[in-house]
Amino acid sequence: MKKLAVKKLIACCVVLLSLTAFARAEDGAKLKGLWVTGGCCHDYKKHAPLLTGEIGKYANAEFEIVFGLEIFKDKDYAKGYDVVVYDLCYGGEPDKDLIGNITGTIAAGKPTVIVHCSLHNFRAAETDDWREAMGMTSSSHDAFRALTTKKVAKHPITDFWPDDWSTPGEELYRTIKFWPNATALMTVHSPESKKDHVVTWINQYGKGRVFATTLGHNMLTVGQKDYHRLLGNGLLWVCGRLDDSGKPAAGSGSK
């Protein structure tokens, strides 16, 4: 009987080890991202291929780039993707159903990254759902100028970020409301409003993890390696693929 019990125990251990190995292989699988971009005021045709390419050098991820809002008319637009990146500038779009498809997707648990002017999307909408999903409300920005960031929380996403990081030119988006489920990671002081405004943060919206930054107006920021890693870390974090030291989890770095 004892020999039989030992054999059963060994068999169980083998099964558990096999399942663990399978889970790790799945965890290390290449992430499939949907990068939705377009709109006014930015060189998205240049930014999108650059950023997806640079993030792909850091994280084990590949992206499909889609321009415009048409994709959001399908409530299942994110099906088949591990993460959705919103890098858009459509301030005057008040389509309630379209917004509902987006916020419903995030709330259902789809990992989400918000970049720069996406924060000013749908400003004409009466509903606050998009703003709450992002974690911050903003409708304007300071004049284009050099700025320096300040880290205000310790987090794996931003641990690598230089304390004195600066860019020679950027738009500082003004924080109107910072939603309760959001956590600020970095701020910038405004000489115009005399206030600190959040520029990088994380948010929980329903079941969905969100990483967001208002940085990234043009190549002065978009072309910087630190910025590429910031987006890469944020993307890995929302997908549960960033370890506590701020490095890609096993199998989640570039191949």
pLDDT tens column, 44-69: 999 999 999 999 999 999 999 999 99
Q: How confident is the model at residue 19 (pLDDT cuts 50, 70, 90)?
A: very low
Which residues are CB-contacts of 120 (< 8 A; sequence separation ≥ 6)?
A: 89, 91, 138, 139, 173
Give the model's confidence band at 27: pLDDT under 50 very low, under 70 low, under 90 confident, else very high: low
What predicted TM-score, i.e. pTM, was given to this entire model? 0.88
Q: What is the mean predicted confidence (pLDDT) over 85-107?
A: 94
On the question of pLDDT at 88 being above 80, the answer is yes
- Averaged pLDDT of the chain: 89
Using CA atoms, how far apart are residues 64 and 12, in angstroms rounded to an integer? 41
Note the pLDDT of residue 155: 98
Q: Percent of the chain having pLDDT more than 70?
A: 89
pLDDT digits (tens, 9 = 90+) for 177-208: 999 999 999 999 999 999 999 999 999 999 99
**Could you tell me the sign of the dihedral formed by the alpha carbons of 119, 120, 121, 127, in that order?**
positive
CA distance 119 to 228: 19
At 203 the pLDDT is 99
The two tokens of residue 5 are 């019990």
Integer Cα distance of 203 and 214 in angstroms: 14
| Residues 214 and 138: beta-carbon distance below 8 Å | yes
Rounded CA separation 181/85 (Å)? 20
Beta-bridge partner residues of 145: 170
Query: How far, in Å, CA of 99 to CA of 72, rounded?
Result: 8
- CA pair distance 135, 7, nearest whole angstrom: 54
Mean pLDDT of 119-126: 89
Q: Which residues contact 127 (CB under 8 A, 6 or more apart)?
A: 96, 99
DSSP state of 30: P
The residues, any chain, with a CB within 8 Å of residue 226's CB and separated by 6 or more, are 160, 161, 162, 165
**Mean pLDDT within 132-136:** 98
Widest Cα–Cα separation across the chain: 80
What pLDDT is attached to residue 93? 79
Contact 87, 116 (CB under 8 A): yes
What gap in Å lies between CA 159 and CA 153, rounded to an integer? Answer: 9
Domains delineated in the chain: 32-238 (3.40.50.880)
**Most confident of the following: 12-16, 91-95, 164-168:** 164-168
